[in-house]
Amino acid sequence: MSKIKAGVGKTLIDIHGLLPYQGFSTINDNLFVRSLFLEDNNQHLFVTIDVTALKDEDIFEIKELINNIFSINGEDIWIIANHNFSSIHTRSKDALATADEEIVVKDKSFREILKNAVIKSIRESIKNIENVKLGFQYGNCNINKNRNRNGMIDNELGIIKIINNENQLKGVIYNYAIQSSYMEKYKNIDDSKVISADIVGYVSSKIEAENSSCVAFFMIGSGGDQVPREKYNYEEKNMISVKDLYQYMSILGDSLFDEIIKNINLIECKNYDFESMKLIKIIKFSDENSQIPVFLINFGPIIFIGLQPELTATLGLEIKKSINAPITIITTMVNGGKKYLPHKEAYELGTYEAKSSMFCVGDGEKVVKEIIKTANEMREKNENWNSQI
């Protein structure tokens, strides 16, 4: 019997009563919180949220609440923003200090809605925890492109399949480098915007609709410069309804969905018996006040790497090819965000990512070097998974 246990949960982020807010007036498709609770010799909690980004103060408050209710330590929690652009943001303390009363009230309400959804989702995942088997492999999907001409494209799709001992599909993790920004520019006739979980929300919900016992978890890869391959061109074409635009978007979503399902059907799951390792590596830069945490989990054959900034595809591909693991899951927007972490050439070319970055030339390469070194050291220290592959 496997030592590994898992539980999954999914909860609606019910913002119907908040609208109109931040320019949004209608909801095209719902937003969700999804929770994956893994347990071996350690506890690992992954919470994915259909929001564009989360501030440090949001992460602190949510983790504190989780710890108070479930006694799960902050270092065992990954809170991941799915980075769908068509959703409400929380306001910073500085912005709220000068905002009118209605905005302050709605921001507080939105934070409470998010927290309640997170707690409900986690409670469900802990309630249904059970022994599981794991399987994994890479697929390939070409629905993304680099927003910069001749830039590197990462089409690799990392997939982890989780089944229970009755062979029911319980969870799917899919790791892909793309910004879910297809719906972001759509506006209603009155110039208001539309809420949407975008491409990955569509894909996750479709996986779940076809597998009632399953929750699907998108983990955004090194997508700092990876955007949808095609978008509806408002300048060259007439305005269309949100329903028709969503239909256009679903063409890309169906391609990603089909590749995930094809691989899920091929993956063979097995019982693993290992002890996981985890650590938080603080990487410091030349500026004494500049540093970022990197979150690493060596979960048997799988290495999870989590970062706050969005990596460019060039950096992500270098990490994946250099780590001695059967599968490497690089996830950005983990436990907060720090805009973009580009590679050196991006600064030379003056790309959008480089212009928007808070980091200096060479910082990306330093992070990559430290991640590869640390991850491979973890692998060497925890080799008992190897005989089970």
The SS3 assignment for 296 reads strand
284 lies in some domain = yes
Query: Over 50: is that where the pLDDT of 388 sits?
Result: no
Residue 212 in this model has a pLDDT that exceeds 70: yes
How much is the CA Rg of the chain, to the nearest whole Å? 20
Mean pLDDT of 223-227: 97
pLDDT tens digit string along 64-93?
999 999 999 999 999 999 999 999 999 988
pLDDT for residue 387 is more than 60: no
- With bands split at pLDDT 50, 70 and 90, how would you rate the model's confidence at 273? confident
pLDDT score recorded for residue 57: 93
Between CA 311 and CA 225 the distance in angstroms is 8
Q: What is the mean pLDDT of residues 112-123?
A: 98
The pLDDT confidence band at residue 274, using thresholds 50, 70 and 90, is: confident
Output the pLDDT for position 235: 61
Specify the pLDDT at position 288. 63
Residue 139: is its pLDDT beyond 80? yes
Q: What is the mean predicted confidence (pLDDT) over 281-299?
A: 89
pLDDT over 80 at 141, yes or no: yes
Q: Average the pLDDT over 363-373 and give the result.
A: 97
pLDDT at 364: 96
DSSP code per residue over 46-115: EEEESSS---HHHHHHHHHHHHHHH---GGGEEEEE--BSSS--PPPHHHHHTS-HHHHHHHHHHHHHHH
Domain count, the chain: 1
What is the predicted pLDDT for the residue at 381? 82
Checking if the pLDDT of 231 tops 60, the result is yes
Locate the DSSP E strands across the chain: 5-12, 24-27, 32-39, 43-49, 77-81, 130-140, 144-146, 156-164, 169-176, 193-195, 215-220, 226-228, 277-284, 291-299, 302-307, 310-311, 327-331, 340-341
pTM assigned to the model = 0.95
309 DSSP assignment: S
Which residues, other chains included, contact 127 with Cβ-Cβ below 8 Å and sequence gap of 6+?
7, 9
- Mean pLDDT is highest, among 16-30, 235-249, 283-297, for 16-30
Give the chain's mean pLDDT.
94
Distance, first Cα to last Cα, the chain: 16
Sequence-distant (6+) residues with CB within 8 A of 45 are 35, 36, 37, 38, 66, 72, 76, 77, 78, 122, 125
217: pLDDT strictly greater than 50: yes
Query: Looking at residues 236-253, what average pLDDT do you find?
Result: 87
**Residue 304 counted as domain residue:** yes
Domain range spanning residue 363?
277-388
Region 159-187: mean pLDDT is 96
Q: Is residue 163 part of a domain?
A: no
Mean pLDDT along residues 318-326: 96
Percentage of residues in the chain having pLDDT higher than 90 = 89
Q: Which of 276-290, 327-341, 360-374 is predicted with the least confidence, judged by mean pLDDT?
A: 276-290
- Phi/psi at 184 (nearest 5 deg)? -60, -35
Confirm whether 214 is domain-assigned.
no
- Give the whole-angstrom CA distance, residue 48 versus residue 197: 12
Whole-Å CA distances, 254 to 70, 83, 86, 146: 37, 19, 20, 20
- Name the 3-class secondary structure at 194: strand
pLDDT tops 80 at residue 385:
no
Calculate mean pLDDT across residues 242-250: 94
At 369 the pLDDT is: 97
Does the pLDDT value for residue 339 go beyond 70? yes
pLDDT tens for 343-358 read 999 999 999 999 999 9
Rounded to an integer, the average pLDDT of 244-260 is 97
Confidence bin at 2 (pLDDT 50/70/90): very low
Per-residue confidence band for 338, with pLDDT thresholds at 50, 70 and 90: very high
Residue 235 lies in a domain: no
- Is the pLDDT score of 1 beyond 70? no
Q: 156 and 263 in contact (C-beta within 8 Å)?
A: no
pLDDT band at 272 (very low <50, low <70, confident <90, very high): confident
Q: What is the pLDDT of residue 234?
A: 67
Please report whether residue 288 resides in a domain.
yes
Tell whether 143 is covered by a domain. Answer: no
Q: Is residue 110 part of a domain?
A: no
